[in-house]
Amino acid sequence: MALDENALIRAVTAAHPAPAGVLGIGDDCCVWTPRGPTCLSVDAIAEGRHFTADADPRLVGRKAAAAALSDLAAMGAVPVGAAVAISCPARWDAGAVMAGLGAELMRHGCPLLGGDTTGADSLVVSVTVWGEGDPAAGGRLLRRSGAGPGDLLVVSGPLGGSLRSGRHLTPEPRLAEGRWLARHGFVHALMDLSDGLAADAPKLATASACGCLLLPEQVPVHPDVPDFSDTITAALCDGEDYELLAAVEASQWPTLQLAWPFAHPLAVVGWLLPEPGAWMEDRHQRRVPLAMRGYEHR
Protein backbone atom coordinates (compact mmCIF):
# COMPACT_ATOMS: atom_id res chain seq x y z
CA MET A 1 0.00 0.00 0.00
CA ALA A 2 1.37 3.38 -0.94
CA LEU A 3 1.42 6.25 1.46
CA ASP A 4 -1.74 8.32 1.03
CA GLU A 5 -0.09 11.70 0.98
CA ASN A 6 -3.27 13.74 0.92
CA ALA A 7 -4.93 11.93 3.82
CA LEU A 8 -1.78 12.25 5.92
CA ILE A 9 -1.51 15.97 5.18
CA ARG A 10 -5.19 16.50 6.04
CA ALA A 11 -4.76 14.72 9.38
CA VAL A 12 -1.63 16.65 10.23
CA THR A 13 -3.21 19.96 9.25
CA ALA A 14 -6.21 19.30 11.47
CA ALA A 15 -3.94 18.44 14.40
CA HIS A 16 -1.74 21.51 13.89
CA PRO A 17 -3.71 24.71 13.38
CA ALA A 18 -1.29 27.55 12.69
CA PRO A 19 -1.02 30.35 15.26
CA ALA A 20 -2.82 33.63 14.52
CA GLY A 21 -1.13 35.60 11.75
CA VAL A 22 0.78 32.57 10.50
CA LEU A 23 0.05 30.65 7.28
CA GLY A 24 0.59 26.95 8.00
CA ILE A 25 0.30 23.73 6.01
CA GLY A 26 -1.60 23.82 2.71
CA ASP A 27 0.03 26.44 0.50
CA ASP A 28 3.30 26.25 -1.45
CA CYS A 29 5.10 27.71 1.59
CA CYS A 30 4.26 28.60 5.16
CA VAL A 31 4.50 32.32 6.01
CA TRP A 32 5.29 34.05 9.30
CA THR A 33 6.57 37.44 10.42
CA PRO A 34 9.89 37.16 12.30
CA ARG A 35 10.55 39.50 15.24
CA GLY A 36 14.33 39.60 14.82
CA PRO A 37 17.40 37.48 14.11
CA THR A 38 16.26 33.96 13.31
CA CYS A 39 18.06 30.63 13.57
CA LEU A 40 17.27 27.42 11.67
CA SER A 41 18.46 23.83 11.64
CA VAL A 42 17.63 20.66 9.74
CA ASP A 43 18.12 17.25 11.29
CA ALA A 44 17.48 13.90 9.60
CA ILE A 45 17.20 10.45 11.16
CA ALA A 46 17.32 7.29 9.08
CA GLU A 47 16.25 3.69 9.58
CA GLY A 48 19.21 1.45 10.40
CA ARG A 49 21.31 4.45 11.51
CA HIS A 50 19.36 6.30 14.19
CA PHE A 51 16.67 3.70 14.90
CA THR A 52 16.03 0.07 14.05
CA ALA A 53 13.41 -1.40 11.71
CA ASP A 54 11.41 -2.62 14.72
CA ALA A 55 11.30 0.71 16.59
CA ASP A 56 7.97 2.15 17.75
CA PRO A 57 6.98 4.58 14.95
CA ARG A 58 5.69 7.11 17.49
CA LEU A 59 9.09 7.14 19.18
CA VAL A 60 10.81 7.55 15.80
CA GLY A 61 8.71 10.66 15.19
CA ARG A 62 9.35 11.90 18.70
CA LYS A 63 13.10 11.42 18.33
CA ALA A 64 13.18 13.25 14.99
CA ALA A 65 11.42 16.25 16.51
CA ALA A 66 13.44 16.25 19.74
CA ALA A 67 16.81 15.97 17.98
CA ALA A 68 15.92 18.95 15.79
CA LEU A 69 14.61 21.02 18.72
CA SER A 70 17.85 20.30 20.56
CA ASP A 71 19.63 22.44 17.93
CA LEU A 72 17.38 25.37 18.87
CA ALA A 73 18.14 24.71 22.55
CA ALA A 74 21.83 24.86 21.64
CA MET A 75 21.36 28.48 20.47
CA GLY A 76 19.23 29.47 23.47
CA ALA A 77 16.38 30.04 21.00
CA VAL A 78 12.60 30.01 21.36
CA PRO A 79 10.95 27.71 18.76
CA VAL A 80 8.88 29.47 16.09
CA GLY A 81 8.00 26.69 13.67
CA ALA A 82 8.85 23.31 12.17
CA ALA A 83 8.52 21.61 8.79
CA VAL A 84 8.93 17.88 8.20
CA ALA A 85 9.89 15.77 5.18
CA ILE A 86 8.97 12.14 5.70
CA SER A 87 10.07 9.47 3.21
CA CYS A 88 8.21 6.38 4.26
CA PRO A 89 7.93 2.79 3.00
CA ALA A 90 4.51 1.09 3.24
CA ARG A 91 5.72 -1.18 6.08
CA TRP A 92 5.97 1.84 8.40
CA ASP A 93 2.89 3.54 9.88
CA ALA A 94 3.45 7.09 8.64
CA GLY A 95 0.50 8.35 10.65
CA ALA A 96 2.04 7.07 13.89
CA VAL A 97 5.41 8.63 13.03
CA MET A 98 3.68 11.96 12.41
CA ALA A 99 1.62 11.65 15.61
CA GLY A 100 4.75 11.15 17.72
CA LEU A 101 6.50 13.98 15.93
CA GLY A 102 3.57 16.34 16.28
CA ALA A 103 3.10 15.60 19.98
CA GLU A 104 6.76 16.29 20.73
CA LEU A 105 6.67 19.59 18.82
CA MET A 106 3.52 20.65 20.65
CA ARG A 107 5.01 19.72 24.03
CA HIS A 108 7.66 22.36 23.32
CA GLY A 109 5.30 24.97 21.88
CA CYS A 110 6.57 24.58 18.32
CA PRO A 111 3.83 24.62 15.63
CA LEU A 112 4.20 22.29 12.62
CA LEU A 113 3.85 24.66 9.68
CA GLY A 114 5.01 22.70 6.64
CA GLY A 115 5.77 19.29 5.28
CA ASP A 116 6.35 16.95 2.41
CA THR A 117 5.71 13.21 2.15
CA THR A 118 7.17 10.72 -0.29
CA GLY A 119 7.42 6.98 -0.61
CA ALA A 120 10.86 5.41 -0.08
CA ASP A 121 12.62 2.08 0.40
CA SER A 122 13.57 2.91 3.99
CA LEU A 123 12.23 5.43 6.50
CA VAL A 124 13.91 8.84 6.68
CA VAL A 125 12.45 11.66 8.77
CA SER A 126 13.95 15.09 8.20
CA VAL A 127 12.84 17.91 10.50
CA THR A 128 13.53 21.61 9.93
CA VAL A 129 13.04 23.88 12.95
CA TRP A 130 13.51 27.59 13.32
CA GLY A 131 13.41 29.99 16.24
CA GLU A 132 14.28 33.40 17.62
CA GLY A 133 16.28 34.74 20.53
CA ASP A 134 14.34 35.03 23.78
CA PRO A 135 13.16 38.64 24.32
CA ALA A 136 14.18 38.14 28.01
CA ALA A 137 17.74 37.61 26.73
CA GLY A 138 17.54 40.66 24.45
CA GLY A 139 17.12 38.30 21.49
CA ARG A 140 20.61 36.89 22.07
CA LEU A 141 21.48 33.65 20.25
CA LEU A 142 24.47 31.70 21.58
CA ARG A 143 26.98 30.35 19.08
CA ARG A 144 29.87 27.92 19.43
CA SER A 145 32.35 30.65 18.62
CA GLY A 146 31.97 33.12 21.48
CA ALA A 147 34.30 31.52 24.04
CA GLY A 148 37.91 32.23 24.96
CA PRO A 149 40.92 30.67 26.71
CA GLY A 150 40.37 30.11 30.43
CA ASP A 151 36.62 29.56 30.06
CA LEU A 152 35.19 26.58 31.91
CA LEU A 153 33.31 23.86 30.01
CA VAL A 154 30.10 22.77 31.77
CA VAL A 155 27.39 20.25 30.87
CA SER A 156 23.68 20.35 31.71
CA GLY A 157 23.33 16.72 32.78
CA PRO A 158 24.83 13.23 33.04
CA LEU A 159 26.20 11.54 29.93
CA GLY A 160 26.48 8.06 28.42
CA GLY A 161 24.52 4.86 27.88
CA SER A 162 21.93 6.47 25.61
CA LEU A 163 22.08 3.97 22.75
CA ARG A 164 22.38 0.84 24.87
CA SER A 165 19.47 1.74 27.13
CA GLY A 166 17.13 2.97 24.39
CA ARG A 167 17.12 6.47 25.96
CA HIS A 168 18.28 7.78 22.57
CA LEU A 169 14.68 7.45 21.32
CA THR A 170 13.37 9.90 23.94
CA PRO A 171 15.93 12.70 24.12
CA GLU A 172 14.90 15.75 26.09
CA PRO A 173 15.74 18.96 24.21
CA ARG A 174 17.09 21.39 26.82
CA LEU A 175 15.15 24.40 25.56
CA ALA A 176 14.49 25.99 28.95
CA GLU A 177 18.11 25.50 29.99
CA GLY A 178 19.37 27.04 26.74
CA ARG A 179 17.12 30.09 27.13
CA TRP A 180 18.26 30.54 30.72
CA LEU A 181 21.93 30.36 29.74
CA ALA A 182 21.43 32.91 26.93
CA ARG A 183 20.20 35.41 29.51
CA HIS A 184 23.60 35.42 31.26
CA GLY A 185 26.36 37.38 29.57
CA PHE A 186 29.07 35.32 31.25
CA VAL A 187 27.93 32.30 29.23
CA HIS A 188 30.05 32.72 26.11
CA ALA A 189 29.28 29.75 23.86
CA LEU A 190 26.82 26.87 23.67
CA MET A 191 26.19 23.67 21.71
CA ASP A 192 24.33 20.41 22.19
CA LEU A 193 26.03 17.04 22.61
CA SER A 194 25.07 14.53 19.92
CA ASP A 195 28.34 12.77 19.05
CA GLY A 196 29.77 12.46 22.58
CA LEU A 197 31.72 14.96 24.67
CA ALA A 198 35.06 13.69 23.32
CA ALA A 199 33.99 14.62 19.77
CA ASP A 200 31.86 17.68 20.49
CA ALA A 201 33.98 19.62 22.99
CA PRO A 202 36.83 19.98 20.45
CA LYS A 203 34.27 21.38 17.96
CA LEU A 204 33.25 24.16 20.35
CA ALA A 205 36.92 24.82 21.16
CA THR A 206 37.90 25.01 17.49
CA ALA A 207 34.97 27.32 16.67
CA SER A 208 36.24 29.62 19.45
CA ALA A 209 39.87 29.39 18.22
CA CYS A 210 40.91 27.53 21.38
CA GLY A 211 42.02 24.09 22.42
CA CYS A 212 40.30 22.10 25.14
CA LEU A 213 41.24 20.08 28.19
CA LEU A 214 38.67 17.53 29.37
CA LEU A 215 38.49 16.26 32.96
CA PRO A 216 37.24 12.69 32.51
CA GLU A 217 36.98 11.96 36.24
CA GLN A 218 34.57 14.87 36.66
CA VAL A 219 32.18 14.04 33.83
CA PRO A 220 28.80 13.09 35.34
CA VAL A 221 27.95 9.53 34.33
CA HIS A 222 24.34 8.74 33.45
CA PRO A 223 22.63 5.97 35.49
CA ASP A 224 22.01 4.18 32.18
CA VAL A 225 25.73 3.31 32.01
CA PRO A 226 26.14 -0.16 33.60
CA ASP A 227 28.12 -0.45 36.85
CA PHE A 228 31.51 -2.13 36.53
CA SER A 229 31.75 -1.04 32.88
CA ASP A 230 34.16 1.56 31.53
CA THR A 231 31.86 4.31 32.74
CA ILE A 232 34.16 7.20 31.88
CA THR A 233 34.60 6.16 28.26
CA ALA A 234 30.84 5.67 28.03
CA ALA A 235 30.20 9.18 29.36
CA LEU A 236 32.67 10.76 26.94
CA CYS A 237 32.03 8.71 23.81
CA ASP A 238 28.55 7.18 23.65
CA GLY A 239 26.77 9.97 21.77
CA GLU A 240 23.10 11.00 21.52
CA ASP A 241 23.03 12.60 24.97
CA TYR A 242 21.40 15.86 23.82
CA GLU A 243 22.64 17.66 26.92
CA LEU A 244 24.05 21.17 26.50
CA LEU A 245 27.74 22.04 26.62
CA ALA A 246 28.46 25.65 27.62
CA ALA A 247 31.64 27.70 27.89
CA VAL A 248 31.42 30.10 30.84
CA GLU A 249 33.66 32.72 32.34
CA ALA A 250 35.53 30.81 35.06
CA SER A 251 35.23 33.50 37.71
CA GLN A 252 31.44 33.36 37.42
CA TRP A 253 31.18 29.61 38.03
CA PRO A 254 30.20 29.85 41.72
CA THR A 255 27.47 32.36 40.83
CA LEU A 256 26.23 30.19 37.99
CA GLN A 257 26.21 27.02 40.08
CA LEU A 258 24.09 28.69 42.76
CA ALA A 259 21.66 30.39 40.39
CA TRP A 260 21.08 27.34 38.11
CA PRO A 261 17.37 26.54 38.64
CA PHE A 262 17.11 23.13 36.96
CA ALA A 263 16.89 19.62 38.41
CA HIS A 264 20.19 18.23 37.13
CA PRO A 265 23.17 20.15 38.51
CA LEU A 266 25.55 21.78 36.05
CA ALA A 267 28.88 19.97 36.04
CA VAL A 268 32.35 21.24 35.15
CA VAL A 269 33.96 18.92 32.58
CA GLY A 270 36.93 20.88 31.27
CA TRP A 271 38.67 24.10 30.27
CA LEU A 272 39.36 26.02 27.09
CA LEU A 273 43.06 26.50 26.29
CA PRO A 274 44.89 29.27 24.46
CA GLU A 275 46.68 26.73 22.21
CA PRO A 276 44.93 24.36 19.78
CA GLY A 277 44.45 20.66 20.38
CA ALA A 278 42.25 18.27 22.35
CA TRP A 279 43.63 17.17 25.71
CA MET A 280 42.56 15.41 28.88
CA GLU A 281 43.79 15.03 32.45
CA ASP A 282 44.89 11.55 33.38
CA ARG A 283 44.49 10.10 36.90
CA HIS A 284 47.66 11.88 38.02
CA GLN A 285 46.40 15.30 36.86
CA ARG A 286 48.84 15.33 33.96
CA ARG A 287 47.74 16.77 30.65
CA VAL A 288 47.84 14.10 27.92
CA PRO A 289 46.40 14.01 24.37
CA LEU A 290 42.70 13.14 24.31
CA ALA A 291 42.70 9.42 23.57
CA MET A 292 38.98 8.97 23.04
CA ARG A 293 36.79 9.56 20.02
CA GLY A 294 33.07 10.22 19.89
CA TYR A 295 30.28 8.27 18.33
CA GLU A 296 29.94 8.20 14.54
CA HIS A 297 26.64 7.33 12.86
CA ARG A 298 27.33 4.97 9.98
Binding site for a copy of itself (CB under 8 A): 2, 5, 23, 26-34, 36-50, 71-72, 74-75, 77, 81, 83-87, 113-122, 124, 126, 128, 130-131, 141, 143-145, 190-192, 207, 296-298
User: Please, what is the minimum distance in Å from the beta carbon of residue 200 to a copy of itself?
Assistant: 10
Which amino acid, one-letter code, is at 289?
P
Three-class SS state of 39: strand
Nearer to a copy of itself, 48 or 226 (CB): 48
The candidate with the shortest Cα–Cα distance to 215, out of 151, 277, 163, 153, is: 153
User: Please, what is the minimum distance in Å from the beta carbon of residue 54 to a copy of itself?
Assistant: 15
Three-class SS state of 115: strand
User: Please, what is the minimum distance in Å from the beta carbon of residue 264 to a copy of itself?
Assistant: 20
User: Please, what is the minimum distance in Å from the beta carbon of residue 293 to a copy of itself?
Assistant: 12
The candidate with the shortest Cα–Cα distance to 170, out of 54, 291, 58, 8, is: 58
Nearer to a copy of itself, 23 or 136 (CB): 23
Nearer to a copy of itself, 145 or 255 (CB): 145
Gap between the Cα atoms of 5 and 249, Å rounded: 51
Three-class SS state of 52: coil
User: Please, what is the minimum distance in Å from the beta carbon of residue 136 to a copy of itself?
Assistant: 18
User: Please, what is the minimum distance in Å from the beta carbon of residue 29 to a copy of itself?
Assistant: 4
Nearer to a copy of itself, 65 or 225 (CB): 65
SS (H, E, C) 243-273: CEEEEECHHHHHHHHHHCCCCCCCEEEEEEE
Query: Phi and psi for 263 in degrees, rounded to 5?
Result: -65, -50
Nearer to a copy of itself, 37 or 185 (CB): 37
The candidate with the shortest Cα–Cα distance to 212, out of 296, 145, 151, 294, is: 151
Nearer to a copy of itself, 132 or 249 (CB): 132
The candidate with the shortest Cα–Cα distance to 60, out of 150, 126, 157, 144, is: 126
